[in-house]
Amino acid sequence: MKGVVFTEFLKMVEEAHGLDMVDTIIEKSDLPSGGAYTAVGTYDHTEAVALVSSLSTETGASVGGLLKAFGEYLFNTLAGAYPQFVEGSANELDFLEKVESYIHVEVRKLYPDAELPSFECSRPNSPDELHMVYQSSRHFEDLCEGLIIGSLKHFKSSATIQRTKLENGRELFIIKR
């Protein structure tokens, strides 16, 4: 996982709980990297899981809730860093559909070692209902929901998100406007 994901996570923790909490969760997570992340480095995604689970222990908040909150936060960072990917979509569903067909394709060109999920997108029932089937060996479904929530807020959308587990560890997100 790219270092930027870690530096943004620790920034969110610092903003919400202060630097002491950042030090505490780094210490308690027993990280191979020691918690010294650079934005361009690449680190094992299990370090992110360890940090979130330590934060959960320290704060009492659920791991899923923390990952969702972080997804929203991360969306705002990514949208700020890469405005060209967010501009030019007519609406939230067109944007979300482009994550697989365009945005992550471009991300892969910039960072060949990026660990990206795959999405199968379709609109089987109506143009106002996007189905996204998420698949990733990292199982960041909650982070994914947070990124979708962040996208909807960015587009000032009141669309709803429905989640369903599928076979083979995949997850279906239905976004309805």
Q: Can you give the binding site for ligand HEM, defined by CB under 6 A?
A: 1-2, 5, 78-79, 82, 85-86, 96, 99, 103-104, 107, 114-117, 136, 138, 140, 143-144, 147-148, 151
To ligand HEM, the closest distance from the beta carbon of 116 in angstroms equals 6
Shortest distance (Å) from residue 84 CB to ligand HEM: 9
DSSP secondary structure letters along 114-171: ----EEEEE-SS-TTEEEEEEE-TT--HHHHHHHHHHHHHHTT---EEEEEE-GGG-E
Residue nearest to ligand HEM (CB): 136
> Which of 25/147 has CB closer to ligand HEM?
147
Residue with Cβ nearer ligand HEM (3 or 17): 3
Structure tokens at 117: 């999920």
Question: Is 55 within 8 Å of 61 (Cβ atoms)?
Answer: yes
Q: How far is the CB of 18 from ligand HEM (least distance, A)?
A: 26
Backbone angles phi, psi at 132, to 5 degrees: -125, 115
Which amino acid, residue 75? Answer: F
Distance of closest approach, residue 175 Cβ to ligand HEM, in angstroms: 9
